[in-house]
Amino acid sequence: MSATRYTYLGPEGTFTEAALRTLPEAATRELVPMVSVPATLDAVRNGEAAGGFVAIENSVEGGVTATLDELATGKPLMIYREVVLPISFALLVRPGTKLGDIKTVTGHPVAQPQVRKWLAAHLPDAVWESAASNADGARLVQEGRYDAGFAGEFAAAAYGLEPLVTEIHDATNAETRFVLVGRPARPAAPTGADKTSVVIWLGADRPGALLELLQEFAVRGVNLMRIESRPTGKGIGDYCFSVDAEGHITDRRVGEALMGLKRIAPQVRFLGSYPRAGVAPEDVSPLRVGTSDTDFMAASDWLARCQDGRF
């Protein structure tokens, strides 16, 4: 395995690359662009890279399905870090292009919903075609295949383009969450501001099946930060659930919730416990009464005394 190589969704100039470069360790790694999310993560599975960096969630569009599906299938991988990056688009064009010259535009499919209103207002007749990434769209504009592309303003120089319009976003404060993924290992020690990610497969389709899964978290005071259903590919109505929960696997409430899920769900895949981006321990909401590690330990000691006849 190359311990100094990180892969990411390329080519050069993607928001993914920009987010990756905010990690301190990125300065000492070989950063290798890949053509797709599956290729980025397969390089990690195959030992060609120590880590893969991919988008997993957008504040406008929700989960990035390619990443969610890749993490749920194939050889297991684990999330080690997350980065949240504010997203704002620029309309990149070849030098000399005016707004009235633009008949075709391109960008990543996730970008389109974030600029749809701007397009309708300023380029209502322009035809949109999707690209593999926003930076790949910039490359296609450079080659003359499209008149303009939506990408980060920082991508303009790499492709000899000009930002005709900047700060484009339909939703104010739009953000994308990225994750650094590696091969399974012991999770890093808890920081007090952590997140645990799992994929849970639903059992038989019957009333209350999903509620039973959610109760494993609720009764132990574990806050769910995200839950998203994804089809398993086995047929209509067959789903798994991608879940982000507040806390670390070593927290008693989280660990016992995962054990509860393992007892009742046909399959549970642990995706990692890792620090929450931009959140300090003092910013985390207080735990519900009775759900701290101290509370769980006290209850366990009480049960042991009862079993020994020491009331």
Give kind and range of the element (H or E) at residue 209: helix 209-218
Whether residue 160 is contained in a domain is answered as no
Q: Strands 62-63 and 89-93, how do they pair?
A: unpaired
**Residues 149, 239 share a domain:** no
The answer to whether residue 163 sits within a structural domain is no
Question: How many Å apart are CA 269 and CA 262, to the nearest integer?
Answer: 9
Tens digits of pLDDT across the chain (311 residues): 467 899 999 899 999 999 999 999 999 999 999 999 999 999 999 999 999 999 999 998 889 999 999 999 989 999 999 999 999 999 999 999 999 999 999 999 888 989 999 999 999 999 999 998 999 999 999 999 999 999 999 999 999 999 999 999 888 888 999 999 999 999 999 999 999 999 999 877 778 888 999 999 999 999 999 999 998 888 777 889 999 999 999 999 999 999 999 999 999 999 999 999 999 999 999 999 999 999 999 999 999 999 999 87
In a domain, 217, yes or no: yes
Do 147 and 193 share a domain, yes or no?
no
Place of tokens 């960096």: 53
Residue 297 lies in a domain: yes
* 47 and 174 inside one domain: yes
CATH number of the domain residue 142 falls in: 3.40.190.10
Distances in whole angstroms, Cα of residue 132 to Cα of each of 35, 85, 95, 220, 231: 7, 20, 23, 42, 22
Q: Are residues 56 and 108 in the same domain?
A: no
Identify the domain containing residue 79 by its residue range: 1-87+169-185
Q: Are 56 and 274 in contact (CB under 8 A)?
A: no
Are residues 144 and 228 both part of a single domain? no
The conformational region for residue 287 under phi > 0 = left, psi -120 to 50 = alpha, else beta, is beta
Instruction: Evaluate whether residue 197 is within a structural domain.
Output: yes
Residue 99 lies in a domain: yes
The structural domain count of the chain equals 3
Query: From the DSSP assignment, how many helices (H) and strands (E) are in the chain?
Result: 8, 15
Residue 162 lies in a domain: no
Neighbours of 205 (CB within 10 A): 10
Q: What is the CATH number of the domain that holds 240?
A: 3.30.70.260
- Check: CB of residue 88 under 8 Å from CB of residue 156: no
Radius of gyration for the chain, computed over Cα atoms and rounded to the nearest angstrom: 22
pTM of the predicted protein model: 0.89
Q: Which residues pair with 33 in a beta bridge?
A: 8
Among residues 101, 131, 154, the one where a domain terminates is 154
Predicted confidence (pLDDT) per residue in 159-218, tens digit: 999 999 999 988 888 899 999 999 999 999 999 999 999 999 987 777 888 899 999 999
Residues 52 and 180 in one domain: yes
Do 44 and 177 lie in one domain? The reply is yes
118 and 226, same structural domain?
no
Residue 219 and residue 150 share a domain: no
Q: Are residues 231 and 121 in the same domain?
A: no
CB proximity list for 81: less than 8 A, separation 6 or greater: 23, 179, 180, 274, 275
Instruction: Confirm whether 164 is domain-assigned.
Output: no
pLDDT at 107: 94
The answer to whether 77 touches 183, Cβ cutoff 8 Å, is yes
- Domain check: are 60 and 180 in the same one? yes
> CB atoms < 10 A from the CB of 33, how many?
19
pLDDT tens string 251-269: 999 999 999 999 999 999 9
d(CA 179, CA 275): 11
- 112 and 253 assigned to the same domain: no
